[in-house]
């Protein structure tokens, strides 16, 4: 089957790739572009480990086709930090031990960053419902929620 | 070691007990960390598995000839590619496995025993070709009746999974085969006499459903076997050495031929302690002489890895009006899945272990059914049996009008108690966790409408086992640690902290890595809450050996005898002499070449003396009487950690375990149809708790030091999943004035009980 030629922007850089029409954006990121930070936990949109931004909208990369990325702007966990400085969320997750095994962490961070872009002062309940699509089996979510709330508070006070 | 412990417990600690950043933190928040599915090799093939569509069937034939002819197919394997083994039990963490069963679970031989059982595997140039090849494999079956529940499986006319399985542990030995693999019994005293002394006896039957560990990372591996038979295996596992030993045995490699490197591991909880894909990928790679990558999808994880048992249990407890328990008795029937090995032994051992009972008995049955073979799941067996006991304790507390914590305090096990499974307990924190619970503000906070509070305790043994780690002092004064237990939740940090505390150098100068199977002696897996305890012990011992060597080098440089040198705060110090003389670790390391060469030490030992960890949880629930929905309103987890090396990660274990327990109590269950097919093979229908389902999980760490660890560590990972089941069930029972005896407490079940009693 002939492959489709796609031009897209990922984490601010231009990318071109060929993909099969049935290939998901997650498969393209991981297999074709070697961006392994987005994880596959279910491939059905239930776990959120593959959360990425597409044109400023939070999506599960496993529910988007690679071909749909054409002309779009994609942001993944690899784009969160800039140079040697981590995103405040990344630093706070380390400081508060908001990760254990770390497999859900990339998706949680991308989703949490999306929340804070939309809502500068989310309540605990808003954080919990926003992150309800990101499964974490290790932490019980406590430290994740605290980290997001603290980053939001620090950004407001900055 | 006791002297050392005293020294550590008495001296002021600088690093241990603080909350530094974990060494692998940046890798894990940037997406840099490589997990099981994240590695690739040039010329790599993709492996896929053909799985049984039937719950129970005889395999008449498997014809792979059409699939072999498909372009792009490079290797196909079936049971013909695996050697058979006689029945032989091998210890594996807290579980025991049998080689005859493992080889049949990895690749079905005479029969398929559950939907999802592996029949064949294919390696091809891409996944489309591999999937097409699977469809071309022609399997002829003779479909047999199946059985899913223990109460059906133990009947004399039940379909037999293994026609040669004679129940072990029954006198006289049965003469015919059954689905009951074994009977175990533990106990003390005279149970009947104890019941005759009771003022009140409560007995009740309970049901729990099969649940899955639910790690977010599916099983994945990458195997590469070269033409001369040398094998490299990258995989997500709790125990690379255990994987090496299973795979070498199953495939006829010797141990030195297979180098296993553990990837970062995306959750395990006991589920990544045995092998599934790993021997298949190695066999396919050996046949094709190309690297083979295999990944399970989520449905395969549910149908074909190792969840834990569903069970039927019966509990009877007798008590005096003053709350003193006179006898406890229970019978536990656990699903083993398709092959024997349910965690009913540990379940029976710990059922009554939080209590000091003179008359106690626990009987367990390990029963095979046409479900996937169970694997370890966080305190394997404990949550199930203790759910039953802790529920009856609560019912008794209500019936005699006693506070449930006071009732537990009245009967609490303590140092010197003879445990129901035999040994006399060392120092343990049951009383301390109960007292912390009672004085916690949560316990006396007011409750809202339709709300009630539940309490339950939990006991878990924890284990030690074979462990090996090493330390190197680099020329610039930095330090390397090589560890053999994969870091599943921050253990690199704990190990570096203990080494830092011993050496007196900043933790940032210490680099811990997880070694592969060629870099250290055998290490048992990360499991049984043993990593911080066992690997921590070897890290402390090897660090102390390195300090001795550093002192020797300083003595050489100063031309004094060794007894003139002591180690203080990262420096050698001359004890005598007119003026104080010190030399830093870095100064000694720099001159290592002229004082005898590189400085390193290792410690390999069978670590013993793990300390049981007790926990007590308090939960407030709200029951919606219209829908049967149970909400968790407030939750507090209290646990004896012995010593929390990194308290944030100890809290994390307590919080994560509590929420897994909440899932077990409220939502999670394997749902089968009448064909024996699992109907909820995804996270949408097998609903683990999501962020909006739970409140903050408050924690209180109690520290009753384990005298057998240099810093008093007990291990904390498993205990916190035990109390939630009963604590929540007790709270729901108190909220509704109806005694619940079935999990999960999902809305339909709660509603049915509210409507029909």
How would DSSP label each residue in B118-177?
A: EEEEEEESSHHHHHHHHHH-EEEEEE-----SHHHHTSTTSPPS-TT-PPBT-SSPPSS-
Helix or strand (DSSP H, E) at A88: helix A88-95
Q: Which residue has the higher pLDDT, B494 or B9?
A: B494
Q: Which two tokens stand for residue B177?
A: 């085969």
Least Cα distance to B365 among B316, B419, B311 occurs for B311
Domain check: are A9 and A74 in the same one? Answer: yes
Of the residues A79, A112, A145, the one at which a domain ends = A79
**B476 belongs to a structural domain:** yes
B238 Cβ under 8 Å from any chain A Cβ:
no
Q: Are A26 and A50 in contact (CB under 8 A)?
A: yes
Cβ <8 Å between B697 and A132 = no
DSSP A67: G
Q: Are B599 and B526 in contact (CB under 8 A)?
A: no
Cβ <8 Å between B38 and A36 = yes
Grouping H, G, I as helix, E, B as strand and the rest as coil, residue B234 is strand
For CA atoms B319, B325, B327, B328, the dihedral sign is positive
**B431 belongs to a structural domain:** yes
Q: Supply the pLDDT for residue B94.
A: 64
Domain check: are B458 and B468 in the same one? Answer: no
CB count, 10 Å around CB of B438? Answer: 18
Q: Which two tokens stand for residue B348?
A: 């029976």
Instruction: Identify the bridge partners of residue A18 per DSSP, sorted by sequence position.
Output: A5
A33 Cβ under 8 Å from any chain B Cβ:
no
Cβ <8 Å between A41 and B26 = no
B488 Cβ under 8 Å from any chain A Cβ:
yes
Query: What are the pLDDT digits (tens) for B377-402?
Result: 999 999 999 999 999 999 999 999 99
Q: Supply the pLDDT for residue B6.
A: 43
Domain check: are B742 and B634 in the same one? Answer: yes
Instruction: Tell me what the mean pLDDT of segment B41-60 comes to.
Output: 98
How far off is chain A from B659, nearest CA to CA, in Å? 5
Q: Are B470 and B601 in contact (CB under 8 A)?
A: yes
Cβ <8 Å between B696 and A142 = yes
Cβ <8 Å between A43 and B651 = no
User: How far is B78 from B120, CA to CA, in rounded Å?
Assistant: 5
Domain check: are B497 and B568 in the same one? Answer: yes
Domain count, chain A: 2
Counts of helices then strands in chain B (DSSP H, E) = 22, 28
List, as ranges, residues 37-66 from A with C-beta within 8 Å of B: 37-44, 46-47, 49
Of the residues A22, A44, A79, the one at which a domain ends = A79
Task: Answer whether residue A109 shows pLDDT above 80.
Answer: yes
Cβ <8 Å between B21 and A93 = no
Q: Supply the pLDDT for residue B651.
A: 98
Find the CB nearest B217 among A41, A78, A140. Answer: A41
Q: Supply the pLDDT for residue A37.
A: 98
Listed in sequence order, the residues at least 6 apart from B357 whose beta carbon sits closer than 8 Å to its beta carbon are B188, B189, B194, B325, B327, B328, B411, B420
Domain check: are B455 and B440 in the same one? Answer: yes
Domain check: are A136 and A117 in the same one? Answer: yes
Find the CB nearest B691 among A96, A99, A134. Answer: A134
User: How far is B597 from B475, CA to CA, in rounded Å?
Assistant: 10
Q: Supply the pLDDT for residue B89.
A: 83
**B71 belongs to a structural domain:** no
Query: What are the pLDDT digits (tens) for A111-156?
Result: 999 999 999 999 999 999 999 999 999 999 999 999 999 999 999 9
A99 Cβ under 8 Å from any chain B Cβ:
yes
List, as one string, the DSSP characters of B275-327.
-SHHHHHHHHHHHHTS-EEEE--HHHHHHHS--B--EEEEEEEEE-TTS-EEE
CATH number assigned to the domain comprising residue A8: 3.10.20.30
Of the residues B575, B607, B639, the one at which a domain ends = B607
Task: Please list every residue in chain B whose beta carbon sits closer than 8 Å to the beta carbon of residue A128.
Answer: 691-692
**B199 belongs to a structural domain:** no
Grouping H, G, I as helix, E, B as strand and the rest as coil, residue B710 is coil
Cβ <8 Å between B691 and A143 = no
Domain check: are A92 and A68 in the same one? Answer: no
- Alpha carbon distance, N-terminus to C-terminus of chain B: 57
CATH number assigned to the domain comprising residue A97: 1.10.150.120
User: How far is B677 from B426, CA to CA, in rounded Å?
Assistant: 47
Domain check: are A58 and A125 in the same one? Answer: no
Listed in sequence order, the residues at least 6 apart from B711 whose beta carbon sits closer than 8 Å to its beta carbon are B5, B8, B9, B13, B16, B498, B501, B536, B540, B643, B645, B705
Question: Tokens 């592969």 appear where?
Answer: B516
B106 Cβ under 8 Å from any chain A Cβ:
no
Task: Please list every residue in chain A whose beta carbon sits closer than 8 Å to the beta carbon of residue B31.
Answer: 35-38, 76-78, 106
Domain check: are A113 and A133 in the same one? Answer: yes
C-alpha dihedral, B8 to B13 to B14 to B16, nearest 10°: 80
Of the residues B592, B607, B622, the one at which a domain ends = B607
Find the CB nearest A102 among B21, B28, B692. Answer: B28
Calculate Rg over the CA atoms of chain A. 16
Domain check: are B396 and B443 in the same one? Answer: yes
Query: What are the pLDDT digits (tens) for B352-381?
Result: 999 999 999 999 999 999 999 999 999 999
Grouping H, G, I as helix, E, B as strand and the rest as coil, residue A85 is strand
Task: Return the percent helix, strand and coil in chain A, to nearest 5.
Answer: 40, 20, 40
Task: Answer whether residue B206 shows pLDDT above 90.
Answer: yes
Task: Please list every residue in chain A whose beta carbon sits closer than 8 Å to the beta carbon of residue B657.
Answer: 140
Confidence of residue B222 (pLDDT cuts 50, 70, 90): very high
Domain check: are A8 and A54 in the same one? Answer: yes
User: Between vectors from CA B114 to CA B110 and to CA B117, what angle results, nearest 5°?
Assistant: 70
The pair phi, psi for residue B523, each rounded to 5°, is -120, 130
The ipTM assigned to this model is: 0.98
Cβ <8 Å between A39 and B694 = no
Instruction: Tell me what the mean pLDDT of segment B490-496 comes to.
Output: 97
Of the residues B607, B630, B665, the one at which a domain ends = B607
User: Between vectors from CA B61 to CA B57 and to CA B65, what angle results, nearest 5°?
Assistant: 140
User: How far is B331 from B562, CA to CA, in rounded Å?
Assistant: 61
Q: Are B492 and B427 in contact (CB under 8 A)?
A: no
Grouping H, G, I as helix, E, B as strand and the rest as coil, residue A73 is strand
**B91 belongs to a structural domain:** no
Confidence of residue B93 (pLDDT cuts 50, 70, 90): low
Task: Please give the sequence-ordered ranges of beta strands (E in DSSP) within chain A, or none if there are none.
Answer: 4-10, 13-19, 51-54, 57-60, 73-75
Residue among A28, A35, A45, A102 with most chain B CBs within 10 A, to mutate: A102
Domain check: are B490 and B457 in the same one? Answer: no
Q: Which two tokens stand for residue B564?
A: 């003139």
Grouping H, G, I as helix, E, B as strand and the rest as coil, residue A61 is helix
The pair phi, psi for residue B655, each rounded to 5°, is -70, -45
* Structural domain range at position B699: 381-462+611-756
User: How far is B404 from B382, CA to CA, in rounded Å?
Assistant: 20
Query: What are the pLDDT digits (tens) for B513-528?
Result: 999 999 999 999 999 9
Task: Answer whether residue B453 shows pLDDT above 60.
Answer: yes
Task: Answer whether residue B335 shows pLDDT above 80.
Answer: yes
Q: Supply the pLDDT for residue B1.
A: 38
User: How far is B94 from B350, CA to CA, in rounded Å?
Assistant: 13
User: Between vectors from CA B376 to CA B183 and to CA B39, what angle results, nearest 5°?
Assistant: 150
Distance set, CA B725 to CA A20, B29, B411, B619, B732 (Å): 47, 32, 21, 10, 11
Find the CB nearest A138 among B22, B646, B656. Answer: B656
Listed in sequence order, the residues at least 6 apart from B508 whose beta carbon sits closer than 8 Å to its beta carbon are none
Task: Please list every residue in chain B whose beta carbon sits closer than 8 Å to the beta carbon of residue A139.
Answer: 652, 655-656, 659
A135, closest residue in chain B (CA to CA): B690
Looking at every residue in chain B, the average pLDDT score rounds to: 96
Cβ <8 Å between B690 and A138 = no
Domain check: are A52 and A117 in the same one? Answer: no
CATH number assigned to the domain comprising residue B28: 3.30.365.10
B5 Cβ under 8 Å from any chain A Cβ:
no
DSSP B604: E
Question: Tokens 């399970």 appear where?
Answer: B296
A90, closest residue in chain B (CA to CA): B29
Domain check: are B440 and B485 in the same one? Answer: no
Domain check: are B540 and B578 in the same one? Answer: yes
Q: Which two tokens stand for residue A64?
A: 């988007």
Domain check: are B441 and B564 in the same one? Answer: no
Cα maximum dimension of chain A: 55
List, as ranges, residues 695-734 from B with C-beta within 8 Å of A: 696-697
Least Cα distance to B30 among A96, A87, A130 occurs for A87
Find the CB nearest B216 among A104, A131, A146. Answer: A104
Q: Are B148 and B113 in contact (CB under 8 A)?
A: no
Confidence of residue B9 (pLDDT cuts 50, 70, 90): low
Q: Supply the pLDDT for residue B686.
A: 98
* Structural domain range at position A111: 88-157
B265 Cβ under 8 Å from any chain A Cβ:
yes
Cβ <8 Å between A100 and B649 = yes
With 0-12 / 13-18 / 19 or more C-beta atoms within 10 angstroms meaning exposed / middle / buried, residue A136 is: buried
User: How far is B573 from B575, CA to CA, in rounded Å?
Assistant: 6
Q: Are B237 and B262 in contact (CB under 8 A)?
A: yes
Domain check: are A12 and A67 in the same one? Answer: yes
Domain check: are B390 and B498 in the same one? Answer: no
Cβ <8 Å between B22 and A97 = yes
Domain check: are A69 and A99 in the same one? Answer: no
The pairing of beta strand B451-460 with beta strand B180-188: unpaired
DSSP B419: P
Task: Answer whether residue B90 shows pLDDT above 90.
Answer: no
Q: Supply the pLDDT for residue A89.
A: 98
User: How far is B108 from B409, CA to CA, in rounded Å?
Assistant: 50
How far off is chain A from B696, nearest CA to CA, in Å? 5
Distance set, CA B444 to CA B438, B452, B620, B639, B654 (Å): 8, 12, 11, 19, 22
Query: What are the pLDDT digits (tens) for B10-30?
Result: 568 999 999 999 999 999 999
The pairing of beta strand A73-75 with beta strand B89-92: unpaired
List, as ranges, residues 598-627 from B with C-beta within 8 Å of A: none
Domain check: are B446 and B511 in the same one? Answer: no
Helix or strand (DSSP H, E) at B589: helix B585-590
Domain check: are B427 and B518 in the same one? Answer: no
Q: Which two tokens stand for residue A66?
A: 């690679």
Listed in sequence order, the residues at least 6 apart from B67 whose beta carbon sits closer than 8 Å to its beta carbon are B73, B76, B122, B133, B134, B136, B137
Task: Please list every residue in chain A whose beta carbon sits closer than 8 Å to the beta carbon of residue B24.
Answer: 102
Confidence of residue A35 (pLDDT cuts 50, 70, 90): very high
Among A23-32, B342-351, B578-587, B675-684, where is mean pLDDT lowest?
A: B578-587
Task: Answer whether residue B713 shows pLDDT above 60.
Answer: yes
CB count, 10 Å around CB of B33? Answer: 23
Length, in residues, of chain A: 158
Domain count, chain B: 2
Q: Are B726 and B206 in contact (CB under 8 A)?
A: no
């Amino acid at each position: 089957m002939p492959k489709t030629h796609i031009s897209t922007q990922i984490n601010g850089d231009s990318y071109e790739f060929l993909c099969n029409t049935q290939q998901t954006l997650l498969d393209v990121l991981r297999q074709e572009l070697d961006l392994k930070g987005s994880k596959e936990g279910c491939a059905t949109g239930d776990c959120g480990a593959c959360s990425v931004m597409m044109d400023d909208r939070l999506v599960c990369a496993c529910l988007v086709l690679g071909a749909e990325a054409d002309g779009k702007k994609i942001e993944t966990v690899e784009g969160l930090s800039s140079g040697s400085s981590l995103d405040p969320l990344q630093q706070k997750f380390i400081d508060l031990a908001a990760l254990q095994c770390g497999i859900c962490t990339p998706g949680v961070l991308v989703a949490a960053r999306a929340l804070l872009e939309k809502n500068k002062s989310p309540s605990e309940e808003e954080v919990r419902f926003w992150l309800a699509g990101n499964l974490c089996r290790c932490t019980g979510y406590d430290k994740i929620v605290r980290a997001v709330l603290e980053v939001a508070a620090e950004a407001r006070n900055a | 070691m006791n002297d050392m412990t005293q020294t550590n417990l008495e001296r002021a600690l600088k690093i241990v007990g603080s909350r530094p950043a974990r060494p692998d933190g940046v890798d894990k928040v940037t997406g840099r960390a490589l997990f099981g599915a994240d590695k690739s090799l040039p010329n790599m093939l993709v492996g896929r598995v053909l799985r049984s569509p039937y719950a129970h069937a005889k395999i008449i034939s498997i014809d792979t000839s059409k699939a072999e002819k498909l372009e792009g197919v490079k290797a196909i394997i079936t049971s013909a590619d695996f050697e058979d083994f006689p029945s032989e039990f091998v210890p594996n963490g807290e579980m025991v496995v049998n080689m005859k069963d493992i080889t049949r679970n990895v690749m079905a031989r005479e029969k398929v025993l559950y939907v999802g059982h592996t029949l064949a595997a294919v390696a091809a140039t891409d996944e489309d070709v591999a999937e097409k090849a699977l469809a071309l494999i022609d399997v002829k079956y003779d479909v047999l009746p199946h059985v899913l529940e223990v109460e059906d499986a133990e009947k004399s006319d039940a379909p037999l999974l293994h026609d040669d399985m004679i129940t072990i542990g029954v006198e006289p030995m049965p003469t015919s085969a059954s689905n009951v693999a074994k009977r175990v019994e533990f106990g003390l005293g005279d149970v009947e006499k104890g019941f005759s002394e009771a003022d009140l006896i409560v007995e009740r039957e309970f049901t729990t459903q099969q649940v899955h560990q639910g790690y977010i990372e599916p099983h994945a591996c990458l195997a590469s076997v070269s033409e001369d038979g040398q094998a490299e295996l990258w995989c997500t596992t709790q125990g690379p050495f255990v994987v090496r030993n299973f795979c070498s045995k199953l495939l006829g490699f010797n141990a030195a031929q297979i180098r296993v490197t553990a990837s970062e591991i995306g959750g395990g909880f006991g589920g990544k302690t045995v092998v599934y894909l790993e021997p298949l990928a190695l066999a396919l790679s050996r046949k094709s002489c190309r690297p083979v990558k295999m990944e399970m999808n989520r449905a395969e994880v549910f149908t074909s890895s190792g969840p834990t048992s569903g069970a039927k249990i019966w509990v009877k407890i007798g008590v005096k009006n003053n709350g003193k328990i006179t006898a406890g008795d229970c019978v536990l029937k656990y699903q083993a899945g398709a092959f024997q090995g349910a965690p009913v032994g540990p379940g029976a051992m710990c059922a009554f272990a939080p209590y000091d009972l003179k008359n106690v008995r626990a009987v367990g049955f390990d029963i095979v059914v046409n479900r996937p073979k169970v694997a370890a799941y966080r305190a394997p067996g404990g949550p199930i049996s203790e759910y039953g006991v802790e529920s009856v304790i609560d019912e008794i507390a209500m019936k005699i009008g006693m506070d449930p914590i006071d009732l537990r305090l009245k009967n609490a096990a303590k140092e010197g108690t003879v445990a129901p499974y035999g040994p006399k307990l060392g120092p343990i924190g049951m009383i301390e966790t109960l007292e912390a619970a009672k004085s916690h503000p949560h316990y006396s906070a007011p409750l809202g409408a339709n709300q009630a509070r539940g309490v339950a305790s939990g006991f878990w043994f924890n284990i030690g086992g074979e462990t090996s780690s090493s330390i190197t002092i680099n020329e610039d004064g930095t330090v390397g640690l090589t560890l053999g237990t994969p870091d599943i939740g921050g253990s690199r940090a704990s190990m570096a902290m203990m080494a830092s505390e011993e050496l007196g150098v900043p933790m940032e100068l210490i680099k811990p890595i997880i070694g592969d199977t060629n870099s250290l002696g055998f290490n048992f897996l990360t499991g049984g809450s043993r990593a911080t305890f066992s690997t921590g012990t070897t890290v402390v011992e090897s660090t102390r050996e390195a300090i001795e060597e550093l002192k020797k080098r300083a003595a050489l440089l100063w031309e004094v005898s060794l007894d003139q040198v002591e180690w203080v705060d990262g420096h050698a110090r001359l004890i005598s002499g007119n003026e104080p003389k010190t030399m830093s670790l870095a100064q000694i390391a720099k001159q290592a070449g002229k004082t005898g060469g590189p400085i390193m030490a290792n410690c390999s030992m069978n670590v013993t003396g793990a300390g049981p960890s007790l926990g007590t949880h308090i939960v407030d629930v709200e029951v919606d009487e219209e829908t049967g929905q149970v909400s968790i309103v407030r939750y507090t987890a209290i646990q004896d950690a012995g010593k929390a090396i990194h308290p944030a990660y100890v809290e994390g274990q307590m919080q994560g375990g509590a929420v897994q327990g909440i899932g077990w109590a409220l939502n999670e269950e394997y749902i089968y149809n009448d064909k024996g097919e699992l109907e909820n093979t995804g996270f949408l229908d097998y609903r683990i708790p999501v962020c909006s389902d739970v409140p903050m999980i408050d924690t209180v760490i109690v520290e009753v030091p384990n005298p057998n660890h240099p810093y008093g560590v007990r291990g904390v990972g498993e205990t916190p999943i035990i109390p939630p089941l009963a604590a929540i069930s007790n709270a729901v029972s108190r909220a509704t004035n109806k005694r619940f005896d079935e999990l999960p407490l999902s809305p339909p079940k709660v509603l049915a009980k509210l409507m029909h009693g």
